[in-house]
């Protein structure tokens, strides 16, 4: 199998995010983000102080990164804009230095023959907006519209492929319900408001991009975990369906005009006081593609004692399965299951683009200076075979972006889990292509 098996128009690329790779986040006029504050208050240790500041150093080393992308044969690059680097307070006050850097970066990509795919929001909300409620405030919808307008105005002449949000189920759930991600809040009602406003902002931002950019290809990037029941009892099957509705379908079905998934309504009914009469209509948008992001599966059993969801996840470490550096199950088949389920369940689904898929390992350079990440090669090989099988069964998939080009700052997990095709020494910022990078170069020839 090689790239030709997927068709001549298939988009092959890698993906990164601004916060995880750029570094130097509050320099050159940029503002503070919720992740800068969250890490400073809760997570920074002396060991990761410098990696927090520099991340992968792409703000300075982007020519080398683009050269590595090009040498491997990738023709597309997905990256995010940093909202506080462009609009430090989150409002209509612009940082000209930040805008200038993104213009240089985009021009360099295009000069090297790489097609840019831009994500508007990949989790780094300006801290000033969080102090006014963040995603739990309905004002965030208007702020997203302003931000989308600025991005379209300054970059839309050259960037035609756009994603509005990255994994809204994760940044709302982990940030406002579980408290394990920024801004570190653990309140059900706050999470419900954040989820509702993210749905509204997703469509509102897309509408601005559509109105301002000619020939735009507009999507949004949603995470899809493969939830499977522990047994074949009706209770276990329904428990898996409830989690699927809350995590996977919550941010898809409203955009398709289907409303909140029925299985999620008992959980979401407390949101009704914040819903305006036209909100269900406002959530709808005719996206050109849906970004599908898949990493693993979860095994679910019924748990009547757990309020509302009445389901629990069986931790993978208790199932005697191979684990990644994120303690997720190493299960590349999850991509096939997610894509075929989407294809089977939604007859009005736009074309799909796999905007993230990959595996985190504890990569180290060997005595020969190389990174022998053969397990990552096996993961990609199996995931792509499953994706091709899904396409043979009728799934309309237009592209695949490996996560990630570079080892990066992996949010609350710091620098130990490594997703990259290219090893980054976080002390020197030296780049070393891994064996998986060489595998992709052969695959894309």
User: What dotted CATH number matches 3-443?
Assistant: 3.20.20.80
| Poorest-pLDDT segment among 48-62, 130-144, 166-180, 362-376 | 48-62
Evaluate if residue 126 carries a pLDDT over 70.
yes
pLDDT, average across residues 55-71 = 97
Tell me which residue of 288, 125, 111, 276 sits closest to 196, measured CA to CA: 276
For the chain, which residues make up each domain, given as ranges?
3-443
CB 358 within 8 A of CB 400: no
pLDDT, average across residues 380-404 = 98
Q: CA 163, 166, 169: angle at the middle one, nearest 5? A: 135
Tell me which residue of 193, 197, 207 sits closest to 149, measured CA to CA: 207
Q: What DSSP assignment string belongs to 206-250?
A: HHHHHHHSTT-EEEEEEE--EEEESSSSHHHHHHHHHHIIIIIIT
CB 222 within 8 A of CB 290: yes
Task: Name the one residue in this structure whose structure tokens are 């998934």.
Answer: 261
Q: What DSSP assignment string belongs to 82-136?
A: -HHHHSTTSSS---HHHHHHHHHHHHHHHHTTPEEEEEEESS--BHHHHTTTGGG
Give Cα separations from 70 to 59, 110, 312, 412 (angstroms): 18, 11, 44, 30
More confident position, 48 or 360? 360
* pLDDT score for 115: 98
* pLDDT score for 368: 95
Helix (H, G, I), strand (E, B) or coil at 313: strand
**Would you mind telling me the total number of residues written for the chain in this entry?**
445
Backbone angles phi, psi at 120, to 5 degrees: -65, -50
Task: Name the one residue in this structure whose structure tokens are 């522990």.
Answer: 230
Mean pLDDT estimate for the chain: 95
Evaluate if residue 267 carries a pLDDT over 90.
no
Tokens of 406: 């570079």
Tokens of 415: 């620098």
More confident position, 163 or 45? 163
Confidence at 269, pLDDT banded by 50, 70, 90: confident
Which are the catalytic amino acids?
A: 167, 356
Confidence at 262, pLDDT banded by 50, 70, 90: confident
Tokens of 405: 């080009």
Confidence at 26, pLDDT banded by 50, 70, 90: confident
DSSP H or E run through 69: helix 58-72
| Poorest-pLDDT segment among 234-248, 269-283, 349-363, 425-439 | 269-283
Give the residues across from 329 on adjacent strands.
323
> Distance from CA of residue 220 to its chain's centroid?
9
- High-pLDDT (> 90) share of the chain, %: 89
pLDDT, average across residues 390-413 = 97
3-state SS of 326-376 is CCCECCCCHHHHHHHHHHHHCCCCCCEEEEECCCCECCCCCCCCCCCCHHH
Q: What DSSP assignment string belongs to 148-217?
A: HHHHHHHHTTT--EEEEEE-HHHHHHHHHTS-SSTT----HHHHHHHHHHHHHHHHHHHHHHHHHSTT-E
* pLDDT score for 43: 66
CB 76 within 8 A of CB 117: yes
CB 42 within 8 A of CB 434: no
CB 122 within 8 A of CB 80: yes
Confidence at 263, pLDDT banded by 50, 70, 90: confident
């Amino acid at each position: 199998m090689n790239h030709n098996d997927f068709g001549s128009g298939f988009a092959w690329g890698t993906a990164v995010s601004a916060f995880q790779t750029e570094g130097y986040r509050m320099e050159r006029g940029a503002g503070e983000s919720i992740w800068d504050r969250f890490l400073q208050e809760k997570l920074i240790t002396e060991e990761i102080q410098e990696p927090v500041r520099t991340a992968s150093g792409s703000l300075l080393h982007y020519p080398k990164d683009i050269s590595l992308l090009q040498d491997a044969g990738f023709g597309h690059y997905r990256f995010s804009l940093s909202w506080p680097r462009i609009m430090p307070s989150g409002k209509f006050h612009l940082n000209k230095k930040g805008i200038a850097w993104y213009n240089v970066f985009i021009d360099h990509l295009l000069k090297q023959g790489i097609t840019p795919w831009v994500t508007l929001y990949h989790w780094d909300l300006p801290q000033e907006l969080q102090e006014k409620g963040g995603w739990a405030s309905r004002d965030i919808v208007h702020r997203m519209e302003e931000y989308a307008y600025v991005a379209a105005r300054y970059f839309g002449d050259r960037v035609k492929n756009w994603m509005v949000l990255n994994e809204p189920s994760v940044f709302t759930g982990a940030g406002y319900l579980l408290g394990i991600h920024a801004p570190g809040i653990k309140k059900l009602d706050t999470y419900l408001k954040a989820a509702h406003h993210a749905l509204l902002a997703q469509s509102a931002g897309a509408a601005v991009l559509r109105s301002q950019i000619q020939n735009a290809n507009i999507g949004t990037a949603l995470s899809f975990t493969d939830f499977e029941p522990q047994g074949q009892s009706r209770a276990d099957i329904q428990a898996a369906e409830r989690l699927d509705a809350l995590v996977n379908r919550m941010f898809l079905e409203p955009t398709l005009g289907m409303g909140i998934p029925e299985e999620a309504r008992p959980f979401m009914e407390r949101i009704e006081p914040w819903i305006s009469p036209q909100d269900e209509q406002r959530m709808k948008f005719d996206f050109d593609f849906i970004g599908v992001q898949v990493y693993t599966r979860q095994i679910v059993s019924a748990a009547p004692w757990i309020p509302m969801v009445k389901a629990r996840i069986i931790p993978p470490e208790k199932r005697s399965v191979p684990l990644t550096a994120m303690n997720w199950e190493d299960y590349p088949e999850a991509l096939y299951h997610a894509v075929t389920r989407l294809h089977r369940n939604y007859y009005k689904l736009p074309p799909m683009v796999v905007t993230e898929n990959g595996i985190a390992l504890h990569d180290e350079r060997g005595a020969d200076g190389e990174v022998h990440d053969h397990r990552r090669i096996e993961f990609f090989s199996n995931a792509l075979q499953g994706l091709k099988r899904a396409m043979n069964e009728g799934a309309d998939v237009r592209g695949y972006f490996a996560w990630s080009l570079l080892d990066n700052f992996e949010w609350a997990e710091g620098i130990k889990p490594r997703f990259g095709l290219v090893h980054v020494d976080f002390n020197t910022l030296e780049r070393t292509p891994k064996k998986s990078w060489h595998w992709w170069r052969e695959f894309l020839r």
